[in-house]
Structure 1
Amino acid sequence: MAAASSLLSEDQFLCSICLDVFTDPVTIPCGHNFCKTCITEHWNINVQCLCPMCKELFDRRPEVRVNTFISEMAAQFRKSVQKKTSRSSEKQHAKPGDVMCDICTETKLKALKSCLVCLASYCETHLELHQKVTAMTRHKLIDPVENLESRMCKKHVRPLELFCKNDQICVCQFCTESDHKHHHTVPLIEEYEGKKAKLDKTKAEVQQMIQERRLKIEQIKRSVKLSKEDADRETADSVQVFTALIQSVERSLAQLIEIIEEKQKTTEKQAEGFITELEEEISELMKRSTEMEQLSHTEDHLQLLQSFSSLNTVPPIKDWTDVSVHSSCEGTVTKAVAQLEETLQKETERLCVHVELKKVQLYAVDVTLDPDTANPYLILSDDGKQVSHGNVRQNVPGSPKRFYCYSVLGKQGFSSGRFYYEIQVKGKTCWSLGVVRESISRTGNIERTPNNGCWSVCLTKEKGYKVDGLSVNLSLKSKLQKVGVFVDYEEGLVSFYDVDAAALIYSFIGCKFTERLYPYFNPFSNSGGKNSTPLIICSIHHTD
């Protein structure tokens, strides 16, 4: 019998209804064979009694009996199939997440293909059997998927092969002849490519949002660190100022420190809240990104289209563009000291300016002179740190950046943040220095005023120390030896300090900076040698 079974093709032992080896095979009048249970259930379901293979119609239900010959042959064949299956089962066992074979009755094996006609998935062995049945060779096979029923039109029981652009749903061929007759329909693959392109674009946007929020977290962390440093400096300065005052203000010192610490805690708490919220948004965006990543790599047209609407949107998130953490401690010392008793005011102001100068010196920058901007009569040192007026015009190339008046700019420009530098003016009888905006006129004798883009102070023979462009004379206790210039771009602040006396000379406040700012130097004419001493850009030495 085993020899005989080897002479027969494998599809002769398969029931065309269940696609498995015959179980209790019966032969119906037309000559075709089926499992007894399969043909019985088929006739129970259908009103007409006909053969599933050749469609021959019977007037009445035939009486069927088990064909013992075919049953024995099928049993022998089943054993051979089981041996073959056992040899490959180790490699084909379905794992979590795999699509399982719908035909396997015992150990479920991993499906290799799914049939859109049979609405079933097949492992390697059962796929071979499916392909051997002549009537099923034209069935459409796809990569294994679950829920095959969802791929069929519920109305026409036909594969969903088209996409209706009017109603944005998947339809079958029959739908285009009925409910969607005059609608614009395209093949699934065409709509799949378009939706996949949009999904990839949205996925890129989500990735960008994730990156922006990660950068915002780093920005907040840096802000917290700077805030902590500011708080530490404020605390140290407070101790220094109040220690120098009489015992009666020690209580104010303790209160001030407490305020600073509380403000810092508030800043840190606010930052922690921002970070937590950002991390939650990142988590949500990453989850959405993962889902879109998985969907963007699927070759399953229907799955992408059915999931597109729910995934091709960005989760509702907060706009973090204007969210930031700022130090809340700046200026705490000055404000607290201003409330002290009038008898301590002068000493307090002196100590506060001393502390303030130490703080602005932390923003010191290295400034060198730009020879391309220097008036031809100015002499610059080789290291770019000194400038003085000479009696002879220098042979220099023409440049639209060069000043007609006795002026020169620093090479370094600033369009944000804070910066500080110091200039030695010792021995000079006339000078002007400060900062100017980039677009300031370089032709003619420029008008050194804030309206013209120049914020500077000067020393002249006629009026002594004064503010350029304003009717403000500066009353100084001693002659200036070294001037410090501090700029806070965002705050619109330009301050000048007497470095040796640790005193504030003057401050421009409420300035509206919209351009890059450059350090400005004007040594004035040497006046026959009386003002030949150069302006010198100094290395910063912090005050004690």
Structure 2
Amino acid sequence: MASSNFLPSEDQFLCSVCLDVFTDPVTTSCGHNFCKKCINDYWTTNNQNMCPLCKKVFTSRPELLVNTFISEMVSQFRQSAQQKASSSSSEQQESKPGEVPCDVCTGTKLKALKSCLVCLASYCETHLEPHLTASRLKRHQLMDPVENLEDRMCTKHDKPLELFCKTDQTCVCMLCIFSDHKTHKFVPLKEEYEERKFKMEAQIQQIIQERQLKIETIKGFVDISNRNADMEKAEGVQVFTDLKESVERKLNELINTIEEKQRTTKKQAEDSIRELEQEISELMKRSTEVEKLSLSEDHLHLLQSVQALNIHHPPPTKDWSEVSVPPASYEGTVVRAVSQLEETLSKKMKKLVVEAELKRVQKFAVDVTLDPQTAHPLLILSDDGKQVRPAKVRPPCLPDNPQRFSQSACVLGTQNFSKEKLYYEVQVKRKSDWDLGVVRESINRKGPITLSPQDGYWTICLRNGNEYKAAAGPPVVLSLKSGPQKVGVFVDYEEGLVSFYDVEAAVLIFSFTGCSFKEKLLPYFSPCLYYDGKNSAPLIISPVGVN
């Protein structure tokens, strides 16, 4: 007999009826082996004496003979399998909470290695062996262990869920396609899984790319923020250095003022003391001479000497009764200096605030171009649409159109805007008269116009070379220390704000606030008319640069 180390494989000892290792194996007259109970139950159930394997029909139920050879081999096989199971079970891990246990183990449940979708059971390494060796069990579908295998069965037909209904987006069994899902479209579960897996992976990769792009965007914002912070710090250092230098200059001026007063008082005192000491010295000389004469008994000589010395008429001296050198008064000196410093710093800080504000609004610069269709006939526009000047002589008649101004010497920009911010700059050098601002798109362009917000105009103007006004209705006179050479125009549509800046001096000229814009706005320009050789210079739309 063969040694147990050389036992045949398990599938050679499987009953073809119960698909398990033989129990009391018997042999039919056709030579096939079955469990004694299995073959008897088979014949009883089918009510026919036929071999389950070769389908040979017996006229009467044959006598079943015990196959001693098979019995002995099965006994050795079972003993070897038990030893192997005992050995492997000691090496296998006991199932822990959260892990799928083996459904076959009795007593201590070992950790399942696989679940069978046909048997609807999970197996440890030992009890999984038949599915790995038996030819019929090898065809079963195994997967990583899962719980609740009954959920993978169709509740209606008690069959495995093997297909996916694309119409209803649900898992179905083979019988479902002939009932509730008869006209629907089906694919195998694996195909749907692969398709969804591909889509999910593609979607995840897209999200990853979007997140990576977002990271790069945020990093870009951080870089911009860092650069802006560095610029702001540098500007802040410069500003506070200027303020510090202003304070130090004022302190030096204060100290110099006090010291100058101190030096003047000291000099006056020293001069008076020196003059008084000189007079005292002269008088002491006379006193000494008189004392010498008083010792002589020659009265004639004494009188002659006194007359010669002119003692009765002492040397001329200054009347010191009205002369005084009072202590220098410094009262109010520090207060005045601090007041002047406050005024200086206030002006400087206002200038710095406007400079910062101007830098901010310049970020909203737009490229404005003049619209020749709106220009009054007495205006001349440059080919690039960036300059407008008054004509010295009336040019040939231009075709009239609804957009053209008929009486007022003005022109509009081609760009209209709403719900946004914009900024542009206009050079006004060597001009004695001009108007600048923005207007509503619907303003009347025929006949005389009135510059006021009520009529859709938000403008400032210059007249006679030095009269600046804001057309606020009534007009507001603007007191400017010097005439601007370049005017910046800023509009915040949503905030209802129109501001005008002296760009080079960094001064806010005027602001219209609380405006109610209900339609599109257009830039407005008027170089006014040519007056006997005056006001011939153009208005020039300049590129915006940070000053």
Greater C-alpha Rg = 2
> RCO higher in 1 or 2 (8 Å CA, sep ≥ 6)?
1
TM-score normalised over the length of structure 1: 0.49
TM-score normalised over the length of structure 2: 0.49
